[in-house]
Every structure is written in structure tokens, then in C-alpha cells.
Amino acid sequence: MTLLEIDGLTKRFGGLVAVDDFDMTVERGEIVGLIGPNGSGKSTVFNCLMGIYNVTDGQIHFDGEEITNDSTHEIVNRGLSRVSQESNPIDDMTVRENIKLFTLPNSILAFSGGASDEEIAEYAARVDIEDQLEEHPGSMPHAGVRRLEIAKALATEPEMLLLDEPFAGMNQQEITELAAKMEEFREEGITQVVVDHNMGGLMGLVDRIVVINNGDFLAAGTPEEIAGDDDVQEAYLAGEVTQ
């Protein structure tokens, strides 16, 4: 069953066409990789999905409902959540408080609410940071802060997680551990789209890879099919990105 459907997505910044009539579908339960050379439009697609950018043209449907140009909090409430490339925890707050912030009702009229301490500990445990709940993000290593960013996204109870370069800056052991967590999220029923520059870190994790080039759909297939695709090789060579 299709969970996410992107039809003819176009995003222009003035005269620059960052995403150009791009199509992509994601089935419930899949882990899909979205790859493409530098500046090919991957982050712009995520920003359009999350309502950060207004779409110039095209439609986005999530779980059968149109969400094109809905506000970010409406989109999050529908079950779509993103882990950005940049970590942005609030350093004055503990890990617990940072996670709690993402569970508070999105209304200026709400003065209380949010997840209980037990629920926050569960979100943290899903990424193995339950022992660091009283720490401040500034005292954690890079991989720990990245886990906190994922816990914040999990705290919105998503059906689909969008992960933008989740393995960036991690060593091989950290990458292996995070990939295992992502498999667990899938078993818990969370569909995932993972953006990466190339497919190195995605082999063995994703079911399917979609390749975007110059803002447009270039190819889709299993990691093996994409690795052997001449058009993809050519696009990467033109973008001077090595695999």
C-alpha cells in the first residue's frame, strides 16, 4: 500500500529550478534511499514534503490525503517527521527536556501536557540514550547528538521518518549501529526515506533506491540495479562525486 506519493513536484527559487517535475512513491514498510549528486535537489524534496518550502507545482499525498503546502505542524500531526542533516538541540536543556519539547501540543493555548517521563525514557531507549537523559547535548559525542535528533523525531510518533544524511560524520561502528536501529524502526512499523550522497552506506539497508539528478527523477531500482546503471554512473561522474 502506497504511503507517500509525490507527483510532478516542482520547486523554483527565482530562475533556478531546484526540483523539476519529480515523481516518487514509497510503499508502507519500505526503507527507500534517495540519492543524487551535490545540489541535485534531495534536501529541497524533503523541505517540500515537510511544508518548509511552498511547492511551485505538483502534488504530495500522504496516507491517501493531499498534504501539498500544508503547514509543518499539520504534516507532523499526520505522521511524517524529519531528522535534519544539521543537529539543533537546545544546549540549555537536558536530553529529556529536548525530547519533551517535541511532544508538547502545538498550540499557544497549551500550557501543560506532553509525554510522561516514562514515555520520554522509551523514546530515548529506542536509540540507546536512556542513560543520558539528564545530560546536556553539548557534553555528548556527535553520534549521541544525532541519536537525540532521532529520538526527537520518534517522539512525534511518526508513520514515516525522513532521514537526511543520517550517517554523516559517523565512524563505521556508529554507522552499523544506526543501521541496525533503522531496521528496528521498520519492524516497529515506521516507513523510512534516507537521503545520502551515494549508496555506500545504504547497501544492505534499503529495499529500493531512487536517484534524482538536476531535480528530476533519473532511475529507481534495487541497490544492485542502481550500482550497475550506466545513466547513474554518468550523472555521478558529471557531478564529480565518487562512489
Ligand X SMILES: Nc1ncnc2c1ncn2[C@@H]1O[C@H](COP(=O)(O)OP(=O)(O)OP(=O)(O)O)[C@@H](O)[C@H]1O
Shortest distance, CB of residue 11 to ligand X, whole angstroms? 8
Question: Does the footprint of ligand X cover residue 213 (CB under 6 A)?
Answer: no
Pairing of strands 31-35, 208-213: parallel
Of residues 207, 242, 237, the one with CA closest to residue 225? 207
Sole residue written with cell 518548509: 52
Determine which residue in the list 4, 32, 44, 96 makes contact with ligand X, applying CB under 6 A: 44
Q: Which residue, 123 or 236, is less far from ligand X as judged by CB?
A: 236
Does 36 engage in binding with ligand X (CB under 6 A)?
yes
**Nearest residue (CB) to ligand X, 88 versus 106:** 88
Q: Which is nearer to ligand X, 40 or 98 (CB)?
A: 40
Exactly one of 2, 13, 125, 200 binds ligand X (CB under 6 A); that residue is 13
Regarding 40 and contact with ligand X (CB under 6 A), the answer is yes
- Integer-rounded Cα Rg, in Å, for the chain is 18
Number of residues that bind ligand X (CB under 6 A): 12
User: Does residue 42 belong to the site contacting ligand X (CB under 6 A)?
Assistant: yes
DSSP state of 55: -
Q: Which of 2, 27, 39, 224 binds ligand X (CB under 6 A)?
A: 39
Residue 169 makes contact with ligand X by CB under 6 A: no
DSSP states of 95-158: HHHHHHHTTS-S-TT--S----HHHHHHHHHTTT-GGGTTS-GGGS-HHHHHHHHHHHHHTT--
Please tell me whether residue 43 binds ligand X under the rule CB under 6 A: yes
Closest-CA residue to 132 (of 115, 119, 148, 146)? 148
Tell me how far apart the alpha carbons of residues 5 and 201 are, in angstroms, rounded to a whole number: 25
Among 1, 15, 16, 134, binds ligand X (CB under 6 A): 16
Which of 47, 24, 30 shows the shortest CA–CA distance to 186?
30
- Strands 57-62, 65-66: parallel, antiparallel or unpaired by DSSP? antiparallel
Point out which span in 13-21, 123-131, 184-192, 230-238 binds ligand X (CB under 6 A).
13-21
Tell me: does residue 41 bind ligand X (CB under 6 A): yes
- The interface region with ligand X, picked from 40-48, 56-64, 117-125, 225-233 by CB under 6 A, is 40-48
**Interface with ligand X by CB under 6 A: which range of 33-41, 57-65, 130-138, 143-151?**
33-41
Please give the span between the terminal C-alpha atoms of the chain, in angstroms, as a whole number. Answer: 32
Binding site for ligand X (CB under 6 A): 13, 16, 18, 36, 38-44, 197
